[in-house]
């Protein structure tokens, strides 16, 4: 198993980082921590990480411009070979360039049920609002603060006598459970059949008149009352693979595709020359390309009245 390589950025106690680090000691954990970095050389978490044999890096941000400081961090993260970044109590606003570089590969943990209470003092704000429930969220980092897509949340009930401190303490316990779990699921999702099928579904159902049925146990997409244009093969006869099957022009195109990349393309058993199998679980799937394949396959089976409508729409 190749594990995702995660750099964790902290500014303080680093208890979430510790939770990520200890979870990574389980042999089946799909990620490993390759670096713990901080803008605060006194961050307690650095000592813990160092003691556990993890590479650490600390550099105060004081007197350094934001973009230059982020470039220093970026250099260290790259040097450590990280594929993902996990923010864990990192108290710095990040430059757009840094956020863009890690687009889709940087997560954060936030102590509220987002979209409620972005920013600071989340627990006091929940108490002041008379909320019955607080909690924590793990989300993808996008340029707007605490506004990226939420990947997972845990609710924590508020007790009548809670203060911001007592509530924070319980939310932290929830955070420590949530973060490793969500990070694990996130880094392994491009091999997770359920996630892969959902990606295909979203793009297949965007075709005009598309419908989903189950065919021989496979998710299958066709035109309502018409022909099928895509199947997803999941662990067919226990082969452990997830692949998309779409229509092609025939034997020649099939041979050409397989020749161009024989790890990705294959001749799907029982489907004949008019179809191609495209592996979705190789970890580097280009989803725009898959959308193009689906559109092309749809066009191959769509009745004229539908393709004509599309041609007209395409002219404007």
Residues that bind ligand GRF (CB under 6 A): 10, 12-16, 88-89, 109-111, 136, 172, 175
Whole-angstrom CA distances from 121 to 112, 148, 151, 308 are 10, 19, 22, 56
CA distance 136 to 180: 13
Closest distance to ligand GRF from the beta carbon of 186 (Å): 17
Name the β-bridge partners of 134: 156
Closest distance to ligand GRF from the beta carbon of 28 (Å): 24
Task: State which residue, 175 or 293, has the beta carbon closest to ligand GRF.
Answer: 175
State the pairing for strand pair 56-58/265-266.
Answer: unpaired
Residues contacting residue 70 through CB under 8 Å, at least 6 positions apart: 94, 95, 97, 98
**In 3D, which of 37, 31, 35, 40 has the Cα closest to residue 12?**
40
**In 3D, which of 72, 64, 82 has the Cα closest to residue 38?**
72
Task: State which residue, 109 or 223, has the beta carbon closest to ligand GRF.
Answer: 109
The single residue of 50, 75, 84, 110 carrying the catalytic annotation is 110
Task: State which residue, 49 or 187, has the beta carbon closest to ligand GRF.
Answer: 49
Task: State which residue, 65 or 169, has the beta carbon closest to ligand GRF.
Answer: 169
Tell me if residue 121 is catalytic.
no
Closest distance to ligand GRF from the beta carbon of 93 (Å): 13
Edge-to-edge order in the sheet of strand 228-234: 210-215, 218-223, 228-234, 242-247, 275-279, 265-266
CA distance 268 to 251: 12
Residue of this chain nearest to ligand GRF (CB atom): 89
Closest distance to ligand GRF from the beta carbon of 258 (Å): 48
Residues marked active site are found at 110
């Amino acid at each position: 198993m190749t594990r995702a390589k995660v750099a964790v950025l902290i500014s303080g106690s680093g208890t979430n980082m510790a939770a990520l680090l200890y979870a990574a000691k389980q042999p089946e954990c799909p990620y490993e921590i390759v670096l713990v970095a901080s803008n605060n050389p006194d961050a307690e978490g650095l000592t813990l990480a160092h003691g556990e044999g993890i590479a650490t890096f600390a550099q105060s941000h004081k007197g350094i411009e934001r973009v230059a400081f982020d470039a220093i961090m970026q250099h260290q993260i790259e040097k450590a070979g990280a594929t993902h970044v996990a923010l864990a109590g990192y108290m710095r606003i990040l430059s757009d360039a840094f956020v863009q570089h890690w687009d889709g590969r940087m997560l954060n943990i936030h102590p509220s049920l987002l979209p409620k209470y972005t920013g600071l003092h989340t627990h006091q704000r929940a108490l002041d609002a008379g909320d019955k429930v607080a909690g924590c969220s793990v989300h993808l980092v996008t340029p707007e603060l605490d506004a990226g897509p939420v990947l997972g949340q845990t609710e924590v009930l508020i007790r009548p006598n809670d203060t911001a401190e007592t509530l924070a303490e319980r939310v932290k316990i929830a955070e420590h459970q949530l973060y490793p779990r969500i990070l694990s699921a996130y880094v392994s999702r491009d091999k997770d059949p359920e996630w892969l099928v959902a990606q295909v579904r979203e793009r297949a159902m965007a075709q005009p008149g598309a419908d989903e049925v189950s065919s021989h146990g496979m998710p299958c997409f066709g035109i309502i009352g018409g022909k099928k244009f895509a199947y997803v093969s999941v662990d067919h006869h226990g082969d452990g693979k997830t692949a998309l099957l779409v229509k092609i022009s025939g034997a020649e195109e099939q041979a050409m595709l397989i020749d161009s990349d024989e790890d990705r393309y294959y001749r799907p058993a029982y489907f004949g020359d008019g179809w191609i199998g495209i592996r979705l679980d190789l970890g580097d799937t280009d989803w725009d390309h898959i959308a193009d394949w689906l559109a092309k396959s749809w066009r191959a089976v769509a009745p004229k009245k539908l393709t004509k409508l599309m041609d007209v729409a395409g002219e404007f």
